[in-house]
Amino acid sequence: MTTSSSSQPARPSAAQPSSSSSSTPSNNQPRQRNSGQASRTSGTSTTPTSNPTSLRWDRKTIQFSVNAWVFVVAVLSIFPLTPANLSNRAYRLSFLGTACSSLYSLYSVYGKPRAWNLQAVQVWLQSVIVTKDFISFIYCLTFVTSHLYLKFSLIPVICRSLDHVGKFLRRNFSRSSLYRKYLEEACVWVESNVTTLNILSSQAEIGLGFLLVVSLLSWQRNIIQTFMYWQILKLMYHAPATAGYHQSVWAKIGGLVNPVVQRYVPFLNTPISTIQRWWFR
């Protein structure tokens, strides 16, 4: 009797290792699940993300390609030995390429209108109308749709394309031996003379305005184009991006013309003052 009673408590102790061994897998299961979740999260975190600098690089490359093409075509248009038919086509393609480049630059910076209704388009236009790209866009539209072939009007187009191409080459090809041998001096000159190019562009733009006024006396006159172009000149005079250059050129013109008018043709003071009131309005 004593032996049987003493052997009974030993059974639970023998069953304890089995219960502990059976409980260890249940404890390991949450660890395995947690490790699986961690591996999933680590796998998702290691997926490559899009780099915004590559997108900006693509935009700059597109702008460089278009402006380099515009420069070549514009030079071909003004080259004296170019046939007339090819020169006229290159003339229009130069303005068309610059218009596309300006419109793409506006889209990349300001996007498109939030909605295609009158109010949203007006809000979008108010934000871009004083920018240099928008002025360049409407400038090119004025001449690409005209039947006049004024090669003088390509000067602002060439200056703009030179500015874009020179800056891009200097920033991205400075280590190239070909660039250092043939293009470095020209690109350095362009980048250091941006103000000179802008003044030259403003002088050409103002000169075109007077040239269009003179063309009204010929059989190729276009009254609508002349009026629209002088509206663009007025915008250039007031827009912050171009106001400094245009105001300086107009100040020089006023310093030369006003003494002559006061001395020889004083009766022109009244129409000139009327035009000035419209101009500064």
Q: What is the pLDDT of residues 132-183, one digit of tens each?
A: 999 999 999 999 988 888 999 999 999 999 999 999 999 888 888 888 889 9
Is 280 among the domain residues?
Answer: no
Is 250 among the domain residues?
Answer: no
Is 28 among the domain residues?
Answer: no
Is 113 among the domain residues?
Answer: yes
**DSSP of 235-262, one letter per residue?**
HHHHSTTTHHHHHHHHHHHHHHHHHHHH
- Alpha-carbon distances, residue 169 vs 59, 70, 126, 133, 243 (angstroms): 15, 16, 33, 21, 28
pLDDT along the chain (281 residues), means of 10: 43 44 46 47 45 57 94 94 93 95 93 89 91 95 88 94 93 87 92 94 96 89 92 95 94 92 90 91 84
Residues 6+ apart with CB under 8 A from 164: 63, 64, 67, 101
Predicted local distance difference test score (pLDDT) of residue 131:
94
Residues 6+ apart with CB under 8 A from 2: none
Give me the amino acid identity at 29: Q
Q: pTM of this prediction?
A: 0.76
Is 262 among the domain residues?
Answer: no
Is 246 among the domain residues?
Answer: no
Number of domains in the chain: 1
> Measured between alpha carbons, how far is 257 from 273 in angstroms, rounded to an integer?
13
Residue 29 CA, distance from chain mean position: 58
What's 151's DSSP letter?
G
What's 113's DSSP letter?
-
CA angle 262, 267, 271 (to 5 degrees): 100
Domain that holds residue 180: 52-235
Is 179 among the domain residues?
Answer: yes
Is 219 among the domain residues?
Answer: yes
